[in-house]
Chain A
Amino acid sequence: QKEVEQDPGPLSVPEGAIVSLNCTYSNSAFQYFMWYRQYSRKGPELLMYTYSSGNKEDGRFTAQVDKSSKYISLFIRDSQPSDSATYLCAMSTTDGKLTFGQGTILTVHP
Chain B
Amino acid sequence: DSGVTQTPKHLITATGQRVTLRCSPRSGDLSVYWYQQSLDQGLQFLIQYYNGEERAKGNILERFSAQQFPDLHSELNLSSLELGDSALYFCASNRGGPYNEQFFGPGTRLTVL
**Contact B98–A44 (Cβ < 8 Å):** no
**Contact A99–B45 (Cβ < 8 Å):** yes
**Contact B98–A95 (Cβ < 8 Å):** yes
* Residues of B contacting A41 in the complex (Cβ-Cβ under 8 angstroms): 88, 107, 109
**Contact A97–B101 (Cβ < 8 Å):** no
Is the C-beta of B16 less than 8 angstroms from some C-beta in chain A? Answer: no
Q: Which secondary structure dominates chain A's binding surface?
A: loop
Instruction: Say how far B11's CB is from chain A's closest CB, in angstroms.
Output: 14
**How many angstroms between the C-alpha atoms of A94 and B35 in the bound complex?**
18
Q: Which of A45-53, A68-76, A77-85 contacts B (4 or more CB under 8 A)?
A: A45-53
**Contact B90–A43 (Cβ < 8 Å):** yes
**Contact B43–A88 (Cβ < 8 Å):** yes
Chain B residue total in the interface (Cβ 8 A): 28
**Contact A101–B42 (Cβ < 8 Å):** yes
Is the C-beta of A102 less than 8 angstroms from some C-beta in chain B? Answer: yes
Instruction: Say how far A47's CB is from chain B's closest CB, in angstroms.
Output: 10
Is the C-beta of B28 less than 8 angstroms from some C-beta in chain A? Answer: no
Chain A residue total in the interface (Cβ 8 A): 26
B interface, CB within 8 angstroms of A: 2, 4, 31, 33, 35, 42-45, 48, 55-56, 58, 88, 90, 92, 94, 97-99, 101-107, 109
New A-B contacts (8) at CB < 8 Å, excluding given A96-B102, A103-B42: A32-B99, A36-B104, A42-B106, A43-B107, A44-B90, A46-B102, A92-B98, A101-B42
29 pairs from A and B in contact (CB 8 Å cutoff): A32-B98, A32-B99, A36-B104, A41-B88, A41-B107, A41-B109, A42-B106, A42-B107, A43-B4, A43-B90, A44-B90, A45-B104, A46-B101, A49-B101, A93-B98, A96-B31, A96-B97, A96-B98, A97-B33, A97-B45, A97-B56, A97-B58, A98-B43, A98-B92, A98-B102, A100-B42, A100-B43, A101-B42, A103-B42
A interface, CB within 8 angstroms of B: 31-32, 34, 36, 41-46, 49, 51, 88, 90, 92-103
